[in-house]
Amino acid sequence: MRLLAGMTQLASDRPDAVTVADATISAERLWGCARAVADEVAGAPVVAVHATATVETVVGMVGALLAGAAVVPVPPDSGPAERRHLLTDSGAALLLTTGPGAGTTPAGADTGTADGGPALPRVPVDLTRVSSTDRPAPAPTDTALVMYTSGTTGAPKGVLLSHRAVEAGIDALVDAWAWSPDDILVHGLPLFHVHGLVLGVFGALRTGCRLRHTGRPLPERYAAAGGTLYFGVPTVWSRICAQPGTARALADARLLVSGSAALPVPVFDRLHALTGHRPVERYGMTETLITVSSRADGPRRAGYVGFPLDGVSTRVVDEAGRDVPTDGESVGELRVRGPMLFDGYLNRPEATAAQLDADGWFRTGDIASVDPAGWHRIVGRASTDLIKSGGYRIGAGEVEDALLAHPGVREAAVVGRPHADLGEQVTAYVVADGVGEAELVDFVAGHLSVHKRPRQVRFVDALPRNAMGKVQKKLLADD
């Protein structure tokens, strides 16, 4: 099948094709085991996979794709209500179980019991079984993945990603990052998000490079992995920078890539100082895969996610849908169009129409600016990060970067709070040492336009984050 072209072409010379934690499997064995899984699940249109960080998960997903099924990754730490929704809403015909105890019920995974979901057949992924059965490749327009959004505005929605979209998304990154079979990809990200699964597993299999998944994204495991290409989220890079010796061990890598959330400028600078690498930043969503990125053969700027990938078009528009100036200062909603976009939300035509227009433009809901050279900068979400204060439109990300430039600030999140005169006031939540509110307000005003300074600074012990390191600002707003 085309999505996994690299693996099939290089099956004979990749004895260490995939390593997850302490388990390694050759490409030839992976292919044989995946074919055995395909034999077991053949005829199932939708297959859920208990997406643990294991070799079995990789084999199970590849096998389900070989069988022509759409794969639904199920987070292993999901609660009963979330599992019930994913399995019921997706219409999964069976659940592939993985990891230790795969032959028994993973905690809460059999939704035919206490959590009231469908009583799905459970099929353990068995790495002792192989098959040589050949199957026709799925059509490019067939659904490869049903990936569920975070559900920040209601129940999670199933995002339909075709084989063609996944292939286009990976191939655009192969071009941008000079990604080749000679690379050794290292990461420790979850196998149920775009970053860890589509880029971090299918990207490796499609290019034919080796994958070394560290099980968990611990700095010492990254340092010991000996990779050429590293993927991480900002939290991972921040923790690596906190261990200078560990960070310096990455100096021999070819490329460091950061995504899933904005990389703070101080972390970018620290990583550069310790490793000699300016990390590549990129932008994407579950619905769009990666659409904007810096390039391996080009410059990289802290705080910017680069340029549209090959085949991608972008627009930044105001509330009336008019293009804003590409002056690096004007902000608006980013819209993207390209071959890697999703086919819609499962069984939700109204939600699809609200996000994807007839001309193929996807409304990201993210606030961005573009400078005259075409550099894209993401300043936050429209719902939480576009602050309208005193007639000004202020991007929270710009204020956060200014706060993080202060040596006493370790973390910062900025939101707009209701204000009787201004409409909204810029309010900062800060994790800091030895600094007061007035000093930070003056510091920001000295770096940015005065109207962008925080009107209020709240000091907190930590910022609420999700599994991918993104700050959960709605929890701050409800504080």
Q: Which CATH number do you get for residue 122?
A: 3.40.50.12780
pLDDT tens figures, 341-359:
999 999 999 999 999 988 9
The 10 Å Cβ neighbour count of residue 319 is: 10
Q: pTM for the full model?
A: 0.83
Residue 213 belongs to domain spanning: 1-382
| The one-letter amino acid at 206 | R
In the prediction, which pLDDT does 150 show?
Answer: 65
Instruction: Kindly write down the DSSP assignment for every residue of 263-300, as one continuous string.
Output: PPHHHHHHHHHHHS---EEEEEETTTEEEEE--TTS--
Residue 367 and residue 265 in one domain: yes
Residues 335 and 438 in one domain: no
Write out the two tokens for 400.
């956060």
pLDDT attached to residue 153? 52
Give the pLDDT of residue 472.
84
Domain end position, chosen among 356, 382, 408: 382
Tell the residue number behind the tokens 């193929």, with chain if given: 360
Same domain, 88 and 229: yes
Partners of residue 412 on adjacent β-strands: 430
Do residue 355 and residue 457 come from a single domain?
no
Q: Residue 360's closest CA among 445, 284, 262, 288? A: 288
- Joined together, the tokens standing for residue 366 give 């993210």
Task: Give the model's pLDDT for residue 393.
Answer: 66
Selection from 258, 282, 292, 260 nearest residue 272 by Cα: 258
Q: Would you state the pLDDT for residue 110? A: 44
Q: Are residues 301 and 446 in the same domain?
A: no
Write the DSSP string, 88-149.
HHHT-SEEEE-STTTTS--TTT-TTSTT------EEE--TT-------PPPPTTSEEEEEE-
Flag residues of the chain having pLDDT under 70.
1-2, 5-13, 99-117, 150-154, 383-384, 390-393, 467-468, 477-479
Number of domains observed in the structure of the chain: 2
Q: Are residues 392 and 375 in the same domain?
A: no
Q: What is the DSSP string of 10-35?
A: TGGG-TTSEEETTEEE-HHHHHHHHH
Q: Which secondary structure element, helix H or strand E, spans residue 451, and what is its range?
A: none
Q: Domain boundary residue among 353, 382, 411? A: 382
Amino acid at 58: V
**CA–CA separation, 398 and 264 (whole Å):** 10
